[in-house]
Structure 1
């Protein structure tokens, strides 16, 4: 059985995992549109999200205080495997039902937060390294309204920066602007 959130996470991993697999070692110190992180630290953060949201899918309490995984050994393939495990965890019956522990948030919303991290940070990493990236339309359709709903609290919690003015019509770029990212941000490709 596949839940709606698992199907969305599958679509997101199909777009974000290729970015991770293509990250050149030479780019790990490059800046990203997510200002407080360079490519290495943003990748480690996303790795931690993918692992910890598996625990959340099983109604457990992840340890966010621990260090994010190091980028050593075959970390790209480890990330791909963990992303597949994330999809599988959210595909388990009941994973997207009920409230999640100390977060007291609907499980489906929590799963959508993992989706947001995959999509937005996938874009961050692609932009930072000159790689192509475009989220699935169904991802954007879910994340647009969710981002609007969560943005005020997200800013208070430091998860989002102040919104960036955006006059375009692209729904994903509007979502990025709402999170405080400049949709036009670009870095010189590092190869």
Structure 2
């Protein structure tokens, strides 16, 4: 069967991806061990608004009472949209640099710069919030988590010092995991 003149040649999906990556200066050598589902799951847990809802559960229920539960569907839908955006961007642009690279490619250098710095600030706040949440929960579960002093209240010097220690431990563990590999 002859191909009509002017008809573009058939290109396999892997050849198309390789040509798209070459536009960004990359060779097709990325081992795609994270699929769409894993990318969606990472997006869902990474910027988890639901985590914040659980951390601030007491605060919300003390001011809004049972009505607070009516806000959860909106939170879930917002989180779902964020996760779907992450999954789409990761599938379309599998580049290192994540949010900075995506924002730079889609919106330019200035947008990428702001996205990168916003992400760094968000990571700092996330680690601080996780340390406070761990200090509020873990010593109540097992007293062995209260390494510094005896008072686990976050408002005391020993509680705050222990929260910092727990935060540093989590930072070290997550840094080692991310440095080794995603597998």
Per the TM superposition, whether the score is higher than 0.5 is: no
* TM-score normalised over the length of structure 1: 0.31
| TM-score normalised by structure 2 residue count | 0.32
Structure that is richer in helix per residue: 2
